[in-house]
Amino acid sequence: MSMISYASREISCKLVYYGTGLGGKTTNLEHVYSRVNPDTRGKMISLATETDRTLFFDFLPIELGAIRGFKTRFHLYTVPGQVYYNASRKLILKGVDGIIFVADSQEHREEANLEAMHNLYENLESYGYDLSSIPFVIQYNKRDLEDVLPVEALRAQLNPGGAPDFEAVATEGKGVFETLKCVSKLVVKTLS
């Protein structure tokens, strides 16, 4: 959950990109990092495993303004894509303030999306978190490819609760900031 630093007058919030392996979580983070003002962001850190990696960086978005005189700093994380690394995925969720689920829109990734969503629910439950009380946004990535499921089908499978959702092509930056801004605003709203 959010941490308040009275010395720096900042509220730090943790946002986690969750989803399947090779679904676009890292591409989202890399795009955001490349577009954020270098003066307002920290260093990108990569924690590599044998076949996957977790990325992390923080930034201070100017346009969101202050909350009761405090600036809001967002720490962005990706989880390893493979469920094989579930201990890491679970650990990264600890203290989460907002979640972006990055779904791979390709038809052959349908089962992997469902497995990743189920895994998200299980890991949140292990901490006593309820996804309905955490700012949550879904991104349907890879919309530029030919073998994609219709958004309506993805919504029916992954978003029966009606969370905000966005279409994206993370390799081109389409939908990346829209998704991030939405979850960021939801997090700030919970702090107000």
69/175: higher pLDDT: 175
Contact 170, 100 (CB under 8 A): no
The CA distance from 33 to 180, in Å, is 12
The model's pLDDT over 28-62, given as tens digits with 9 standing for 90+, comes to 998 999 998 888 888 888 776 665 556 565 655 65
User: pLDDT by residue (tens digit) across 79-93?
Assistant: 887 666 788 889 889
Examine the pLDDT at 171 and tell me if it is beyond 90: yes
pLDDT at 63: 55
Distance from C-alpha of 12 to C-alpha of 149, rounded to nearest angstrom: 36
Residue-range domain boundaries for the chain:
3-191
- Please list the alpha-helical segments (H only) found in the chain: 25-35, 86-93, 110-126, 151-158, 176-191
Give the pair of three-digit tokens for residue 55.
């990325």
Do residues 51 and 134 make contact, with C-beta atoms less than 8 angstroms apart? no
| pLDDT of the residue at 136 | 98
Residue 104 in tokens = 């791979």
Q: What is the pLDDT of residue 58?
A: 61
Q: Is the pLDDT of residue 129 over 80?
A: yes
How far apart CA 189 and CA 182 sit, in angstroms, is: 11
Q: Which CATH number fits domain 3-191: 1.10.10.10, 3.40.190.10, 3.40.50.300, 3.40.50.10470?
A: 3.40.50.300
